């Protein structure tokens, strides 16, 4: 039994590299999500501080 193998296979075409790229993309997406969440929390903190200043005033 023989398996079909492409004659010219780039490193990005290999299943291992595709898995690595997928993992890197997943990590990048998680970092982007984390940055977005931190940004949202920072904005909420700024609003809270402003409201605190406004009402304590």
Q: What pLDDT score does 16 carry?
A: 52
Q: What pLDDT score does 17 carry?
A: 54
Q: What pLDDT score does 22 carry?
A: 85
Total Cβ atoms within 10 A of residue 20: 13
pTM equals: 0.53
Summarised one tens digit per residue, pLDDT across range 1-57 is 445 444 454 445 555 556 667 888 999 999 999 999 999 999 999 999 999 999 997
Task: Give the whole-angstrom CA distance, residue 1 versus residue 10.
Answer: 24
Q: What pLDDT score does 23 carry?
A: 86
């Amino acid at each position: 039994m023989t398996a079909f193998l492409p004659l010219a296979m780039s490193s990005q075409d290999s299943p291992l590299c595709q898995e690595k790229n997928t993992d890197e993309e997943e990590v990048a997406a998680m970092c982007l999500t984390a940055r977005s969440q931190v940004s949202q929390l920072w904005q909420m903190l700024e609003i809270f501080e402003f409201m605190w200043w406004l009402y304590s005033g």
